[in-house]
Structure formats: structure tokens, C-alpha cells
Amino acid sequence: MRLKLGMKQIDLLARLQTEGVDISIPALSLLEGQKRPVTDKELKALAEILGVSSDWLLGLG
């Protein structure tokens, strides 16, 4: 979704940090690669930043 919006990983990282999510580039890479679980706080911030629902991000609708 980030790529569809033309957003670089560093841009997403900055937006997440602005939302109070303490995350590093390596952790974000793992998250995007589905190699680590997402926290509730991360999920809420990601949905808001990307303009989609939490359910959509989780593949539920």
C-alpha cells in the first residue's frame, strides 16, 4: 500500500514516529515483510497514515 501511494519507507517511518510509534527501519522492514507481528498502536497508526481500515491491513475486509 505504501508503494501505491508513492511513499518511501523512510517517509512512512517518519510519519509513524510523528504518530508516537517508536520503530526503526529494520523493524519496519520486518513488519512489511510479515516477519514480525504488528502492535495495536502500529496498526492504528498505519491505517490512519495509509488511509485504510485496520481490518483491510489485516486482510479481513
On whether residue 28 sits in a domain, the answer given is yes
- What's the CA gap between 25 and 6, in Å, rounded? 17
On whether residue 52 sits in a domain, the answer given is yes
Give how many domains the chain has, as a whole number: 1
Question: Phi, psi (5° rounding) for residue 26?
Answer: -60, -40
Q: How confident is the model over 40-52, as pLDDT tens digits?
A: 999 999 999 999 9
On whether residue 4 sits in a domain, the answer given is no
On whether residue 3 sits in a domain, the answer given is no
On whether residue 17 sits in a domain, the answer given is yes
Instruction: Please state at what angle helix 9-18 crosses helix 25-32, rounded to 10 degrees.
Output: 110
- What's the CA gap between 20 and 13, in Å, rounded? 11
- What's the CA gap between 24 and 51, in Å, rounded? 22
Domain residue limits at 33: 9-57
Give the pLDDT score at 1.
Answer: 86
Query: Could you tell me which residues come within 8 angstroms of residue 40 by beta carbon, excluding any fewer than 6 positions away?
Result: none
pTM of the model: 0.89
